Amino acid sequence: MILADAFRRSEFGREDFTTNPSDIPVVAQFGAQNFKDFCESAMLLEKYVDGIDLNCGCPQKWAIKEEIGSYLMEHPQKVAEMVNAVKRNTNLCCSIKIRKCETEKGTIEMLKRAEAAGVDFITIHGRTRRQSNRQPVDLDTIKLVKDLASVPVIANGGIFTLDDAKKVYDITKVNGVMSARGLLRNPALFTGCESTPIECIERYVNLALKYGTPHFIFHHHLMYMFEGVMENSGMHVIIIFFACTLYSCLI
C-alpha cells in the first residue's frame, strides 16, 4: 500500500513506486483519505500501471487514525467518490479491497455504492477489522458478496495452501483468490508446494540482483521464505545474514 497524500505531493513520496516493462500486469494499491489524493495519484501512474486499487481493509491502528484502510468501511460514500473520480479521469481499471463489515447490511451497502461508482472488481477479506488473524474467515459473507455482485469478486484471508484456495473457491465460487502472508512465506503456494522450494529462493535472489531490489525488501522477503524451510532458527538467521551481506556487495 502506497500513501496517496505523500505520493501526490512529493517526489520523495513517489520513490515508493518502481516497476519495469516485464512486470505486467501491475496494479498499484493506495491508501487514501479523499478523492483528490486518490485520483491525482492514479493520474500520475496511468502510463505505468494497468490498474489502481483502493485499500479499504488495513486494520492497523495508525491507518485508522489517518482515516485510511479499514476506516473507510464505515464511509462507503467516500469510497464511491474516490472510485468515481478515478473512473472519470483515467482509463485505468479501478478496484477496491474491503473487509467484512460489522453488519451484513454494511457490507452490502459498500458493495452497492462501489458498483454504482463504476468499480471494476472487488476483493473482500472475510474478517472484520476487529477480528484477529487467528479467527476463522467468514466464507458465508464472501459468498454473499459474490452472489450479489455484478463485478468479479476476489476472496482473501486464511489462504496458506493450495487446498485452502480450493476450499474457498468450492464454497464461494469467487472469481479468484488472494493470499498475502501465505505467498510471502511460500511464493510457490499455488503450485501445491508446502514450503518454499530452494529453487524458488534461488530464482528470487537472481531476479533481485537483476532488477536492483532494495536491500530492506530483499531481506524482508528472504526472512519470510526461509521461515518454513529451516527448522533450525539459528542456522536460518545465519544463512539470511550471509545472503544479505553478499547481496549488498553485488548491487
Please list the active-site residues. 58
Query: Are 29 and 61 spatial neighbours (Cβ–Cβ below 8 Å)?
Result: no
Q: How far apart are CA 160 and CA 194, in angstroms?
A: 9
Cβ burial 88-119 (10 Å sphere, 16+ → b, else e): eebebbbbbbbbbbeeeeebbebbebbbebeb
The neighbouring-strand residues paired with 29 are: 53
Query: Are 116 and 147 spatial neighbours (Cβ–Cβ below 8 Å)?
Result: no
- Of 96, 147, 150, the closest CA to residue 125 belongs to 96
Residue 76, amino acid: P
Residue 198, amino acid: I
Strand, coil or helix: what is 113? helix
Strand, coil or helix: what is 231? coil
